[in-house]
Structure 1
Amino acid sequence: MTDPAPAASVALPVVIVDDHSIFRSGLRADLDDGIQVLGEAATVDEAIELVIALQPRVVLLDVHLPGGRGGGGAEVIREAAPHAAHTLFLALSVSDAADDVVSVIRAGARGYITKSASGAEVSDAARRVSEGDAVFSPKLAGFVLDAFGAVAGEVAERVDELDRLSAREQEVMRLIARGYTYKEVAGTLFISTKTVETHVSAVLRKLQLSSRHELTAWALERKLL
């Protein structure tokens, strides 16, 4: 009895996002046979639409892109990721500037390599990102550590501040910060207006804020709305 033939490996589905068509075509040609390019995009708007439509496993994403609101690759991640739950983003850029690295990491990129990488290196990086690794060019290690440290610090501060509020106070805080009136909050949460006033006073005191306008700014800054 002969052994069964080994199952063929499944190609990794990716999307290439870069505003230079020559680079896109060159990268597509250099990627190894285990990478399947589902599509290409040249602008922020095209990329967001394509990623949501095709749901690739990995997006090979340039940092500087035209279109959208001027946020480049970071904007693509922020807008597309909520609608593509299984998609991961690997930044691929000519830039090794700290600001560029930090911006896409904070947006949610799982890796950042420079365009000096070979097709084999990009293929390997995409595969590693798809398996859950974080992949970065060696010379960017310092920026990466700084960025992750900053993000971790921000998250820890946010959790600490929210821990000062009870569950009900957090509910009231979010509604007030969104512009609800006391009466609307009371109706939404099925409590009295007087109780809402009491909760708002407690929230402002615990967060050391002086008005609902400051509360809205505080919540927006921490992306709680």
Structure 2
Amino acid sequence: MSEAPLPGAPVTVVVVDDHAVFRSGLKADLDERVRVVGEAGTVEEAVTAIAALRPRVVLLDVHLPGGLGGGGREVLTRSTALLGEVRFLALSVSDAAEDVVSTIRAGARGYVTKTASGREITDAVLRVAEGDAVFSPRLAGFVLDAFGTASVADDELGKLSARELDVMRLIARGYTYRETAKELFISVKTVETHVSAVLRKLQLANRHELSRWAADRRIL
């Protein structure tokens, strides 16, 4: 089990990115306040390493290949049981509002762009380890807009877990239960359970109403 670092002890980190050169450069740029205990280049490697090493913070590439909407989201949803014990700081070349908001909804505690310096990323890691939410300066406004002045759709989406949100989007796009299960690496029975929960929480009668609901709110 991951524990809060002792005063003066470096924060343990796992670096997740599909580019080995970037991982090497990032590790070299982080200072002595951080100790990299593992790294991964795929969704499967990341999920395995995080579960085995239980780092305090995961530096997670948002656009890791694989998974729905990028493998970074897949890593987060498959690590849901560890959220809180392990904290996730998203790294991305993208500063698009959609990427930022969807990643935070999935469970990340912060989001910084890859243009940040090693010192800035180290500072962000320490703050996330202490429980703060951290964002590159221009990205904070996206989060405030999405969560601070939430629309009705945001309020309704806030009722759904990260996994329920993934299932909802696929079902609303017309995926079958079996196709959804295959895409998200879960059982058909689990998909059925999530769909029932989504319909109940959103007060909808069936998947056809769900598709219309999602289309009307432009969240497909």
Q: How does 1:20-35 map to 2 (within 5 A)?
A: 20-35=19-34
Cα 1:117–1:217 change in 2 (3 A) is: same
Name the structure 1 match of 2:145.
146
- Change in Cα spacing, 1:51 to 1:84, as seen in structure 2 (3 Å) is farther
Deviation at 1:87, TM superposition (A): 0.2
Which residue of structure 1 lines up, in the alignment, with residue 45 of structure 2? 46
Query: Aligned equivalents of 1:35 and 1:81: distance in 2?
Result: 24
* 2:101 corresponds to 1:110: no
How far is 1:71 from its partner?
Answer: 3.3
Shift of 1:81: 2.8
Residue in 2 aligned with 1:91? 90
CA distance in 2, matches of 1:53, 1:147: 34
Q: Superposition pairs for residues 169-180 of structure 1, below 5 Å? A: 178=193
Runs of 4+ in 1 over 4 A off after TM superposition: 155-158
Change (3 A) 1:80 1:8: closer
Change (3 A) 1:217 1:43: same
Q: Does 1:82 align with 2:81?
A: yes
Taking the aligned partners of 1:104 and 1:208, their CA distance within structure 2 comes to 25
In the aligned structure 2, how far is the partner of 1:208 from the partner of 1:115?
40
Q: Which residue type is aligned with residue 45 of structure 1?
A: E
CA distance in 2, matches of 1:72, 1:145: 25
* Residue 124 (structure 1) shift: 0.5
What is the deviation of 1:68? 4.0
Residue type at the aligned position of 1:98: A
Q: Secondary structure at the match of 2:76?
A: helix
User: CA RMSD of the aligned region, Å?
Assistant: 3.2
User: In 2 relative to 1, CA 124–107 (structure 1 residues): closer, same or farther, beyond 3 Å?
Assistant: same
Residues 208 and 117 (structure 1), Cα distance of their counterparts in 2 relative to 1, 3 Å cut = closer
Matched, 1:137 2:136: yes
Change (3 A) 1:69 1:99: closer
Q: Which sections of structure 2, spanning at least 5 residues, go unmatched?
A: 1-5, 161-191, 195-199, 215-220
Letter in 2 for 1:55: R
Return the index of the structure with the highest Cα Rg.
1
User: 1:196 — aligned with what?
Assistant: none
Provide the TM-score with structure 2 as the length reference: 0.66
Q: Matched residues in 2 for 1:9 and 1:119: separation?
A: 19
- Cα deviation digits, residues 181-216 of structure 1 (max 9, x gap): xxxxxxxxxxxxxxxxxxxxxxx9xx876x6x56x9
Asked whether the equivalents of residues 45 and 67 of structure 1 are also in contact (C-alpha less than 8 Å), the reply is: no
User: Are 2:67 and 2:73, in contact at CA under 8 Å, matched by a contact in 1?
Assistant: no
Sequence identity of aligned pairs in percent?
60
SS in 2 for 1:14: strand
- The one-letter amino acid paired with 1:129 is V
Q: What does the per-residue CA deviation read over 1:93-146, in whole Å, with 9 as the maximum and x for residues that have no partner? A: 111011111110110111001111111110110000010100001111221112
Q: 1:96 to 1:86 in 2, by over 3 A?
A: same
TM-score, structure 1 as length reference = 0.65
Matching residue of 2:182? none
Q: What is the rounded CA distance, in whole Å, between the counterparts of 1:102 and 1:15 in structure 2? A: 23
